[in-house]
Structure 1
């Protein structure tokens, strides 16, 4: 599309998370008329650390914000997988993308704050919870619970795993429980018992449990993540310190000591969910990006990176196609095969035998619908 055509498009993005903020940045670089509607009354990302892969950093370079991202992150040379007691299993460099060779480790909050901070002032509007989305062919309409209605030439659903846009227009299937629970906290490097000495991600694998240590050197902190098998599908379970300690029994004593020293008030505890791949991500005027389109388990560390690449490809397709409808079809054709495969690979966690070993007599809870 001509730049003049893009500037005349009214684009409404639902959700100001990774996918929505990245899409807003990519489209604003093209000069598009973009407004982001976020249901929260303020932007506040909780959680822990993530790794921004070389392909994502290349997007940031193209959008002119790579220095902003680098300022709140630390470059990592490689990742390492070890046994529960620290014996090496594998060690590899991050897959390079052109001149980009590092994965940048960043706190989720710093990342989203930076993405929002590089958007034009006033582009993000908070306190807009989506109630309905109506597809009118070449346009779409949004109604929010605060009474506001919005008409747009293009609606981008970036509203996450529980996406209202997806449920109303594309699939009413519920999120799927993985049979796992995640415990996440950000702690000072001084409280990591000497386990963090560089900027590289390490994962320790034990009986029914994986422990990730992701350094956040620019903060002098480390993201500490325990992912453990659990048959309880509660989205936000109540968990004790003893429950957490049980998941790391037999691990390197330093990991046990880190867990024992955690302040439970700062631990983010959640059931782990994804969605089944859906057949279609778009109409002629509405499209899904990020978790709304392809929420995946975190084992491959590709959720945020996939959202960023979605944003880049969508912007490129809008720039190159003659119409919005053609652009959305091209975007799905390019991205869906990739994310379908990532969803599949990310589900390759514990085998049925391993689940039985942890929970004798218990049928695997993995891949059961949400309750």
Structure 2
């Protein structure tokens, strides 16, 4: 699209998470009139640490925000996979992307704060809970629970795994329970029993359980994550300290001690869900991105990275195509094959023996399936 067309483009982004904030930044740099509508009255990102891949950091450099992200993250050289007792299985450098060879480890809260901090004041509107989307072909109308109505030439559904935009226009399928729980906490480096000596991610793999140690040394902390098979699909399950200790039985005693001394009030506990691949992400004026389009299990660490890549690809498509309609088709053609494969791979996380122990005679759709 011509620069003059892009400057006349009115864009409404639904959701101020990683994907929505990144899309707002990328599209505002094109000169478009961008507004972000977030249902929460206050943006707070719970959870723990994530890794921003080299290709993601390249996008941040392209958008002029690399330094804002780098100053609240730590560059990591490699990742390691180990046995429960700490014997090495795999040690690999992060896949490089041009000059970028480091994955930057960052706290989720710091990440979203940094992204929102580089957006112009007044671009993000809080308390806008989407109720309906009316697709008019050459534009769309959003209606919010607070009575606000917004018209836009392009609507971007970046509203997560429970996306209203997806449900209204593209797929009425519900999220899929993976058969596992994630228990996530951020602890002091002093409480890591000397297990963190550098800035590299380590994953310990036991039967039915994986433990991730993700250093956040720039803030003197460690992200401690346990992923374990469990049949309870309650979104926010009730879990005791004994439940957590049972999942780490047989692991290095230092990992057991970290678990034993966790304050459950500070642990983010959730059942893990993803979605089946969505056949079509877009109409002529509405498009899905991030978790709304392709929510995936966290085993590959690609959720946030994929959302950032979506934002960059969408901005590229709008620059290259002759119209919004053509741009959205190009965006899906570029990104959907990639995210379909990442979704498929992320569902390969457990052996059949482990699954059968926890789910005798049955298993959740996401476990070991290839949809």
TM-score, normalised to structure 2, is 0.98
Q: Is the 8 A contact 1:85 1:251 kept in 2?
A: yes
1:57-96 aligned at under 5 Å gives the runs 57-96=57-96
Separation of aligned partners in 2, 1:74 and 1:93? 15
Q: Is the 8 A contact 1:352 1:364 kept in 2?
A: no
Give SS of 1:280's match: coil
Give SS of 2:137's match: coil
| 2:110 matched residue in structure 1 | 110
1:140-179 aligned at under 5 Å gives the runs 140-179=140-179
Q: Is the 8 A contact 1:160 1:295 kept in 2?
A: yes
* Structure 1 residue 334: Cα displacement: 0.1
Separation of aligned partners in 2, 1:29 and 1:255? 45
The count of residues paired between Structure 1 and Structure 2 equals 367
| 1:233 matched residue in structure 2 | 233
Q: Are positions 1:333 and 2:333 aligned together?
A: yes
| 1:269 matched residue in structure 2 | 269
Give SS of 1:312's match: helix
Separation of aligned partners in 1, 2:322 and 2:272? 40
Separation of aligned partners in 2, 1:155 and 1:215? 37
Give SS of 1:151's match: strand
Give SS of 1:251's match: coil
* Structure 1 residue 365: Cα displacement: 3.1
Separation of aligned partners in 1, 2:366 and 2:104? 31
Q: Is the 8 A contact 2:231 2:359 kept in 1?
A: no
* Structure 1 residue 356: Cα displacement: 2.2
1:249-288 aligned at under 5 Å gives the runs 249-288=249-288
| 1:34 matched residue in structure 2 | 34
Q: Is the 8 A contact 1:157 1:166 kept in 2?
A: yes
1:201-350 aligned at under 5 Å gives the runs 201-350=201-350
* Structure 1 residue 364: Cα displacement: 2.3
| 2:362 matched residue in structure 1 | 363
Give SS of 2:211's match: strand
* Structure 1 residue 221: Cα displacement: 0.2
Give SS of 1:245's match: helix
Separation of aligned partners in 2, 1:212 and 1:196? 11
1:40-87, Cα deviation, whole Å (9 max, x unpaired): 001111110000000000000000000000000000000000001101
Separation of aligned partners in 1, 2:257 and 2:23? 41
Give SS of 2:315's match: helix
Give SS of 2:20's match: helix
| 1:124 matched residue in structure 2 | 124
Give SS of 2:353's match: helix
Separation of aligned partners in 1, 2:182 and 2:351? 18
Q: Is the 8 A contact 1:180 1:366 kept in 2?
A: no
Separation of aligned partners in 2, 1:138 and 1:351? 48
Separation of aligned partners in 1, 2:262 and 2:296? 27
Unpaired segments of 5 or more residues in structure 2? none
| 2:192 matched residue in structure 1 | 192
Unpaired segments of 5 or more residues in structure 1? none
| 1:17 matched residue in structure 2 | 17
Separation of aligned partners in 1, 2:361 and 2:145? 42
Q: Is the 8 A contact 2:94 2:102 kept in 1?
A: yes
Separation of aligned partners in 2, 1:334 and 1:72? 31
Give SS of 2:259's match: helix
Separation of aligned partners in 1, 2:125 and 2:364? 39
Give SS of 2:141's match: strand
Give SS of 1:161's match: coil
Q: Is the 8 A contact 1:282 1:328 kept in 2?
A: yes
* Structure 1 residue 360: Cα displacement: 7.1
